[in-house]
Amino acid sequence: MNTFRKSNSEAFTSQPIELYDNRLDTLARIETDGTRVVIRTTRDNITAGAKAAFVHYLANEGFIPEHYRWYSCHSAAAEPRIQWLTDSSWVSLGRQGMRFGAKLWSFLTWGRLLALGLFVIAFALALWLKPR
């Protein structure tokens, strides 16, 4: 997790914050404007207790307003200012990631062709050398 801490006196901007939570194995994008918080995750694998713990972490680190420190998973329905969405449309690889993916795919393709060629040669040798 990112450990950058805002001071509590700073005004919260609508600049989104992107975090990776390794306990939940999900990317999260936090958008806040001071009155409400939108948390977008890439996977829908978060329990109510884990959501509460994540909101506490965000409040303790200063990513969202301080009054969310007392957020409870039981008050989730009563707290309409926190909205949880499962959405991965905001995730992008970037140029370097796409270049790596293209190189990896090329490597795997050539590896498969080499393996196929070796298999055909081994099969032909097995047929040719088999006892008659």
Domains of the chain: which residue ranges? 17-86, 93-132
Q: What are the 10-residue block averages of pLDDT along the chain, 132 residues in total? A: 47 72 82 84 85 87 83 62 83 70 82 92 91 72
Q: Note if the pTM is more than 0.75.
A: no
Is the Cβ–Cβ distance between 14 and 31 less than 8 Å?
A: yes
Phi/psi at 28 (nearest 5 deg)? -130, 140
SS3 (DSSP) at 117: helix
Of 92, 25, 19, 11, the C-alpha closest to 55 is 19
Q: How far apart are CA 64 and CA 39, in angstroms?
A: 11
pLDDT score at 92: 72
Per DSSP, the residues of 16-28 read -EEEEETTTTEEE
Cβ neighbour number for residue 48 with a 10 Å cutoff:
11
State the first-to-last Cα distance of the chain, in angstroms, to the nearest integer. Answer: 66
pLDDT score at 9: 41
25, amino acid identity: D
pLDDT score at 7: 46
pLDDT score at 75: 57
